[in-house]
Structure 1
Amino acid sequence: MTIGFLEKKGATEKQVEDGNPGVTADEQLLRELGYTQDLSRSISAFSNFAIAFSCCSVLSGLTPMWGDAMNDAGSLGVIWGWFITGIFTMIVACSLAEICSAYPTTGGLYFWVSRLAPPKYMPLACWLTVGITSVDLGLSQFIAGIINVWQPDVDTSVYMQYGIYVGILLIHGTMNSIAVSLNGLMNQLAFWINMLGILFIVVVGLAVTRPLATGSFVFSEFYNGSGFSSDGYAFLLVILQSQYTLSGYDSAAHMSEETKNSQHGSPFGILTAVAANAASGFIFLIGTSFMTKSFTTQIVSEDAIQPQMVQVFIDGVGNAWTMVFLIFVMLSIFFCGSSLTLGSSRMVYAFARDGAMPFSKYLHRLDPRTNNPVLSVWFNITVAGVVGVLYMVNSTAYESIVSVNTIGSQLSYLVPIVLRITVARNKFKPGPWNLGPFSTLFGAIATCWLVFTCCLFICPTEAPITADNMNYAIAPFAFIMILSVGYFAIWGRKWFTGPVRVVDGQEVVLSDDDNAAPSIHKEKDQIETLSH
């Protein structure tokens, strides 16, 4: 297994000595993959990692759901469920990092599929592989909840929450419209805020809270408050909540064309983001479990403050320290939403560059001042704002959309991994970072885990099952897939041919030879020239 991330001679800085003076190794590789260097390659491997880390950060993902997870399976379920999820997510990340090292482009998973799928089915596979998630709305709900703790008389209705949500979206849009190098620095700051927050909460919480919970409660006490008779199923619900947090790390791949030494830097971002969050999350969950003074009154009771972690903080360290803790949590959620906006804007840019988006002619344009796809950023902000309206109309429907987003994320990981270990097993040419002889084994394990979690995300999460708490995710997911496949079968197949390679000012479609291995496109090898 190749584990080195940094090339000895710094490939991103050295000039390519093949008749292309002034072209760096990163730019040459991108040309071989079919694109010119239009985005600014200005962020380091650490900035790439920081962006991916923020997308699946512990404080933003675990804090709102921790109380429900504790009620479903107790401290034992929460801690060991997280541990298991972290191990398998790391295996998935290894498989994705290997593919990313071979094809470091902004299109990410979408582009990988174009290289791994059989030519006959490549356009359909790319189509199905093609947002801002619920993070910003979760932050607005969290802020509203904090207001109610200190100002119970304030009416924090869904309308107020939506107003806060829109304000956060506008801030994120503005932040992500600046130069990407500055955004990289902001995400580095976000990483240190996250790590400092976790350390601060655990150390101060354990030092001040008295009495602490017993080791028996923390590591071995199981509690099934899910309503389901099966303890095993209740434990699986915690797996679901853990996996929801540990997702979105593919943002490192979407920043590839802006990352120096991308064949090492982007895989580094994927792997270290998952590893750092898995390890820090394990420590964080152990610390908060020890801070739980009364499981019944703080977690199970209907009178407990929501989210229940806030109740644990207040009872353990008092209002003043709790506010400090929550500032770290809110900053973490805020930066998580910003990172997701950044990553999703690069996805939109990549799709638009290949003509696969509405208004593609505009969405792949770069701002001349910042060399940033600003229109793609604000397209995402607009879509997120419109989808958020659904929360005011029907929160159950909105939660189904969120579940579909998570399922879609897992499936987008699944497709390139399955292709890598099956139809593309012999023709795949690994990059500098690869799994060597363990590639197929890791890919098979990752495939099984992703299929398992996708099935889990459509299962009911509360019992007894009613119309209000039913998991409706399968309905919108099936609708979206049928609509997507139907549209492709009737219209999309006539014009969508997969990623468009742009070399020396010409646009060409993917050929069979291109699918087998990266090569610079020569005019004599072109199958078809596309015109817009």
Structure 2
Amino acid sequence: MNHLRPDSLMSGDDEQALQLNNATPCDTSDIENNTGLGDADRVLVAKNGYTPVFRREFGSLATFSFAVSIGGVFSSVATTFVYPLQAGGSAAVVWCWLISGIGCMAIALSVSELVSAYPTCGGLYYTVSQLAAKNHAPILSWLTGWLNILGQLAGVAASEWGAAGLLLAVLSISSDFTYLPSVEHAVATMAGMVVLSGIVNSLSTYWIAKLTSSYVIFHVLVLLSCSIALLTMATTANGNPRHTAKYVFTDIENQSGWPSAWSFMFGFLSVSWTMSDYDATAHIAEEIQNPDIKAPWAISMGMLFTFVAGWLYNIVLCFVMGDITGVDSILASPIQQPVAQIFYNVLGKRGSIVFTTCAFIILKFGNISAMQSTTRTIYALSRDRLLPCSNIWTTILPTTGIPMNAVWLTVVLATAINLIGLGSYPAIAGVFNVCAIALDLSYCIPILCKIYYGRFVRGPWHLGRYSMLINIYACLWTCFVVVIFMMPTNLPVTPETMNYAAVYLIAILMFLMVYWGTHGRKSFSGPPVDRCIS
């Protein structure tokens, strides 16, 4: 184990306490002699109380590319476009992205500020321990850590399910729609996708960083080329003229059964799913050079890119999606992929295959990054003894420097989550909704601790005089959108249209509280606080 306990938490025999917490004292010789460790690693030991185990291979480009890959706007829009389209047509697609994007940016900026002050792979779980009062920190860290890791696992499962759907859509288009994917095919393809992400994440940080660096360039080129192709071909191809600006920005077509004003808000779901997992970059902080500057910069700029590019791309899709009956025909697509159907209608068979395949590749890049973030979170929580069988998940493979057991635990759990889809798609959709809810709540807890306890010491990247205002707005927006996430998006509510997210969330919170009472408060004292043992 590489967990270092602070002397402020020690009582009695230090050696016995260290053994109990499976910790080792700090070796400060490298810090004092300025040898062996880089600046970021010396800070990690002296300030945060952890022994460095990862190689810092992520520079500016790789870190920014990692942050952009988490949003994966080109592919994320493809897998979530149905929600605003069904909720309010073109107007919901355009304006919900803009409104919700502002709220998501407030969360991203607030998270960036916290990450700059506390750049560890524990992310905001560790941050809570530094911001909350000593008697509140253990349970708040416990709750934040569990919500975050459960949200990340559900996010990996959801993204791999989406990747499987895009790949099967390519096969369906290639067969001229004679092949239509079943749920069984989706689950089997998803399992293969998860294993592929696990194999890539078994490589060393050096190779993962090299792979990640190329992603953002590919993503931008695909976005630009696809937008240009759609706008050019829509005037002539298959009788699909471009819509007018009035239609794109004002036309409302409510397909949900809810009153239009309420239905319109379901359009917020698309951007909230796309601009999520803000702290993913924080979880690779111990693999980033100068993480107190590069990690928050990448989070904020990566989310800004996703916000702006996603809004413009959605506008392009609305301009080219077909005549006045386009919404109905797109929603009735036999491949259940509205954006892939737009590609087919406008660009024809070959063009749709090319760009749907590109969407699949982009989503796979994002899934690989999401799995890397999740495995580092499992490692971070385990070195502080939060997860069961912690010794197993902190094992670092010497040849690659990767927590290999944590990688394949993620593979197994993500696959197991998606097996729910064999029994009921509404049930698995509820799990995907819980992903965003759990992650957003795990961000709000440290932001609220920053506001309430007043113990925050800002890092080199901060929001200055606007910090408190942005923090408050981020929390208010999260509370609002969590309600939307738990509502069924269609009426009448039936077992097929029910949103089970609320049921899952209540069950998760009850489990965490019971588990805290029976196990957590006895075995978990929280991350290191203030300084390491000398």
TM over 0.5: yes
Offset of 1:286 from its aligned partner?
1.2
Distance in 2 (alpha carbons) for counterparts of 1:173 and 1:17: 35
Counterpart of 1:117 in structure 2 is 132
Query: Partner of 1:27 in structure 2?
Result: 41
Q: Is the 8 A contact 1:162 1:388 kept in 2?
A: yes
Q: Does 1:266 align with 2:295?
A: yes
* 1:198 equivalent in structure 2: 223
Give the drift of 1:68.
3.5
1: CA distance, partners of 2:331 / 2:355: 23
Q: 1:530 matched to which residue of 2?
A: none
CA distance, structure 2, for counterparts of residue 347 and residue 303 of structure 1? 40
1:191 aligned counterpart, secondary structure: helix
Task: Give the AA of the match of 1:248.
Answer: D
Quote the residue 1:485 is aligned against.
513
Q: Write the distance in 1 (CA, Å) between the matches of 2:82 and 2:523.
A: 49
Which of 465, 468, 472 is residue 500 of structure 2 equivalent to?
Answer: 472
Corresponding residue number in structure 1 for 2:149: none
Structure 1 gaps, min length 5 = 1-15, 502-509, 524-532
1:305-324 aligned within 5 A: 305=334, 306-324=336-354
Matched, 1:72 2:87: yes
Residue aligned with 1:134, SS: helix
Letter in 2 for 1:282: W
Give the residue type in structure 2 aligned to 1:65: T
Q: Which of the residues 382, 385, 389 maps onto 2:419?
A: 389
Residue number in structure 1 paired with 2:397 = 367
Q: 2:185 aligns with which of 160, 172, 177?
A: 160
CA distance in 2 between counterparts of 1:313 and 1:78 reads 17
* CA 45–302 in structure 1, closer or farther in 2 if over 3 Å, else same: closer
| 1:60/1:336 contact within 8 Å kept | no
SS in 2 for 1:422: helix
- Give the equivalent residue in structure 1 for 2:269: 240
Please give the alpha-carbon distance, in whole angstroms, between the structure 1 residues aligned to 2:104 and 2:435: 17
Aligned twin of 1:433 = 461
* Shift, 1:303, TM fit: 4.3
Contact kept? 1:411, 1:450, Cα under 8 Å: yes
Correspondence for 1:209: 234
Q: CA deviation at 1:97?
A: 0.8
Q: 1:201–1:325: 8 Å Cα contact kept in structure 2?
A: yes
2:174 aligns to what? 150
Distance 1:522 1:409 in 2: 33
Show the counterpart of 2:375: 345
Distance change >3 Å, CA 252–CA 336, structure 1 → 2 = same
> How far apart are 1:245 and its partner, in Å?
1.2
Normalised by the length of structure 1, the TM-score is 0.88
1:52 touches 1:248 (CA, 8 Å); kept in 2? no
In structure 2, C-alpha distance between the alignment counterparts of 1:298 and 1:405, rounded to whole Å: 28
Amino acid at match of 2:509: M
Deviations 1:493-528 (A, max 9, x none): 1111112x4xxxxxxxx4xxx2xxxx4x244xxxxx
TM-score of the pair, normalised by structure 2: 0.88
Q: CA deviation at 1:293?
A: 2.0
The residue type paired with residue 253 of structure 1 is A
Matched residues in 2 for 1:404 and 1:477: separation? 7
Between Structure 1 and Structure 2, how many residues are aligned?
489
Identical columns (%): 27
* Aligned pair partner of 2:78 in 30, 51, 63: 63
Counterpart amino acid of residue 403 in structure 2: P
By how many angstroms is 1:326 displaced?
1.0
- Contact 1:297 1:304 survives alignment (8 Å): no
Aligned residue in 2 for 1:3: none
Which of 441, 457, 464 aligns to 2:485? It is 457
Whether the 8 Å contact between 1:72 and 1:235 is mirrored in structure 2 is yes
Q: Residue 137 of structure 1: which of 161, 166, 173 is its match?
A: 161
For 1:157, the aligned partner's letter is S
Q: State which drifts further: 148-157 or 62-71.
A: 148-157
Cα RMSD of the aligned pairs, angstroms, is: 1.8
8 Å contact kept, 1:67–1:299: no
SS at match of 1:255: helix
Instruction: Call closer, same or farther: CA 1:274–1:430 in 2, change over 3 Å.
Output: same
Residue 311 to residue 17, structure 1, CA distance change in 2 (3 Å): closer
- CA drift at 1:18: 5.3
The amino acid that maps onto 2:85 is M
Measure the CA separation in 2 of the matches of 1:217 and 1:184.
43
Cα 1:44–1:226 shift into 2, 3 Å: same
For residues 13-24 of structure 1, what are the structure 2 equivalents within 5 Å? 19-24=33-38
User: Of Structure 1 and Structure 2, which has the larger fraction of its residues in helix?
Assistant: 2
Give the corresponding residue for 1:9. none
1:357, CA displacement in angstroms? 1.5
Q: CA deviation at 1:485?
A: 0.5
* Mapped partners of 1:462, 1:297: distance in 2: 20
Letter in 1 for 2:396: L
Q: Using the alignment, how far apart are the partners of 2:248 and 2:32 within structure 1?
A: 61
1:454 Cα deviation after fit: 1.3
Distance in 2, matches of 1:415 and 1:442, equals 15
Query: Which residue matches 2:429?
Result: 399
Question: 1-side partners of 2:425 and 2:358: how far apart?
Answer: 27
Instruction: Give unmatched runs, 5+ long, in structure 2.
Output: 1-29, 147-152, 236-240
